Amino acid sequence: MTQIALPLSFDRQFSFDNYFTDQAGFIVSSLKAFVEDSSENFIILWGGHDSGKTHLLNASAHYARGRSRGFQLYDADQLSELEPSCLEEFADGTILAIDNLDAICGNRDWESAFYYLINLCHQQKLRLLASLGSKPQDLNCVLADFQSRLSWGLLLELPLTDETDIENIIRQRALLLGHELSEEVICYLVRHYSRGLGSQLEILRKLDTASLSTKKKITIPLIKQVMN
């Protein structure tokens, strides 16, 4: 089978411990049970931009790795450039995870391939975890049977992160990088720059690089210097 590199594979910034939403407890417990073979064989995570889909797929990969479970994670954008036959066989016990599954919608061959894989889940022969940018009913699919199959599993809607969630994530990601940010710094970042989680994490990466090169703590003056 053609192997595709794991996106951000096993990056320590992605874990269940630093996923913050009001529904985190239920979502995380559902994914842990999935990895442990004690729940549904098919789960779909769906939500808008910055809702944490890629984070949770990578966190699930971490969790599976810690339990010596096979876990293969692919991005459907990359898969769509290959032949569907590359996913025909998986080792027993391996979990298949697909990020951005909606990228293959409209491609009859790929829809047919995933229709087959979802049927394998229904037959208890495969465990499949996937993410979508919207609920299955709203996708532009070619095959009606494939679209209907997407609702066979457990559908978990991911809420968008609010300001408190973003502040907590910035705080925890900074700690992983070795920085203890003051509340003043965190509030400054959220109030003066894009409140999108992806944008905030990109800013944090820039600040981490600047802090390491200048050997200075991340402060508001440093933020202004880097961002202006």
Residue 125: its pLDDT value, please?
86
Give the integer Cα–Cα distance in Å for 97 and 153: 14
Locus of tokens 């300001």: 163
Which helix (H) or strand (E) segment holds residue 18: the answer is: none
8 Å CB contact between 19 and 172 = no
Residue 90: its pLDDT value, please?
62
- For position 178, which CATH number holds? 1.10.8
User: Could you say which residues of the chain have pLDDT below 70?
Assistant: 1-12, 89-93
Residue 163: its pLDDT value, please?
76
Same domain membership, residue 122 and residue 91: yes
Give the integer Cα–Cα distance in Å for 103 and 117: 16
Give the integer Cα–Cα distance in Å for 224 and 220: 6
Mean pLDDT of the residues in the chain? 86
Residue 15: its pLDDT value, please?
85
Give the integer Cα–Cα distance in Å for 99 and 210: 32
pLDDT digits (tens, 9 = 90+) for 15-54: 888 887 878 899 999 999 999 988 889 999 999 888 889 8
Residue 162: its pLDDT value, please?
74
Give the integer Cα–Cα distance in Å for 158 and 52: 7
Residue type, position 121, single letter? C
Is residue 168, in this structure, part of any structural domain at all?
Answer: yes
Domain that holds residue 118: 16-157
Residue 129: its pLDDT value, please?
96
Number of domains present in the structure of the chain: 2
The string of DSSP letters for 111-176 reads HHHHHHHHHHHHTTS-EEEEEESS-GGGS--S-HHHHHHTTSSEEEEPPPP-HHHHHHHHHHHHHH
Residue 207: its pLDDT value, please?
94
Give the integer Cα–Cα distance in Å for 43 and 101: 12
Same domain membership, residue 147 and residue 56: yes
Same domain membership, residue 112 and residue 52: yes
Is residue 3, in this structure, part of any structural domain at all?
Answer: no
Residue 9: its pLDDT value, please?
45
Same domain membership, residue 94 and residue 26: yes
Give the integer Cα–Cα distance in Å for 150 and 25: 24
Token code pair at residue 167: 């502040």
